[in-house]
Amino acid sequence: MPTVLVTGAKGQLGKSIASITSDYPEINFVFASKQDLDITKKINVKEFFDTKKIDWCINCAAYTNVDNAESDYDNAYKVNVSGVKELAEACNAFGVKLVHISTDFVFGGEHNKPYKESDPTNPIGAYGETKLRGEEEVIKILKKHFIIRTSWLYSEYGNNFMKSMLKLVGNKINLNIVDDQIGTPTNSQDLAKVIIRLVELDNSNYGLYHYSNEGFTSWYNFAVTIFKFMNINVEVSPISSKDYMTPAKRPTYSVLDKSKIKHTLGIKIPHWEESLRKALSKL
């Protein structure tokens, strides 16, 4: 029975993994929040790995506030780069396979077709830049790694676009939502199942992978679809990114090509609208 450490256990992906562990009785999961394991502190990481017999580490710990990362770069770097380096070094020393979660924001948005793993990166903000540098640390230090880039993650847990829209509609009749940024909403429970499948198969096709739900949309249409599925009557207006300035720039296009992970794991990926219905039904 493999023992799987899940860092960042209080985040939405960590909680999504925790919510489905009963489906995998053949796996022993160990969940660690920041209070249990601060990945930025070398001695904490070494002691944790020393006292537990870990076979796999799923790193869900990350600094994910895209806008705050612009003014809080040191802390974003500390978690997304230095912390990832400490985990990779511990995994290397203790013979642990690492699944590290990254982001579509490593791309700049210049494409008009889905990004493949081999496409050049070009982050346009501090968050994407630190996540890319974290990827580079993993690749440099550890052979037995999987890096999974995902996009527009949401769930019934934590803070995310889906939950924000439902909170906003309680206070407003009219909403203005950006319509010129294109990507794919991803249900974090779908991602959780794919990560666990890697463990189940004891996969050794190490490297970089892309995963999101199928299809693509804009933030505006994402919001419209949320309200449609929830039978909420609210007026939503499409606006340009120029009309909604944020501290961090976002890629105008960040759709991911999932061919590699579908072929490697033999999986069928659900469409984002199908997965959105499932997430909304749990609220």
For the chain, counts of helices (H) and of strands (E): 11, 12
Determine which one of 63, 77, 115, 127 is catalytic: 127
Residue for token pair 């580079």:
136
Q: Is 115 a catalytic residue?
A: no
Place of tokens 């380096």: 85
Task: Compute how many other C-beta atoms are within 10 angstroms of the C-beta atom of residue 201.
Answer: 12
The DSSP result for 171-185, as a single string, is T-SEEEEE-S-EE--
* Per-residue burial over 131-143, b = 16 or more CB atoms within 10 Å of its CB, e = otherwise: bbbbbebbbebbe
The whole-angstrom separation of Cα 155 and Cα 15 is: 9
Residues 6 or more apart whose CB falls under 8 angstroms from that of 187 comprise 154, 155, 213, 270, 272, 275, 276, 278, 279
> Can you tell me the distance from the alpha carbon of 281 to that of 283, in angstroms, rounded to the nearest whole number?
6
- Give the residue numbers marked as catalytic: 127
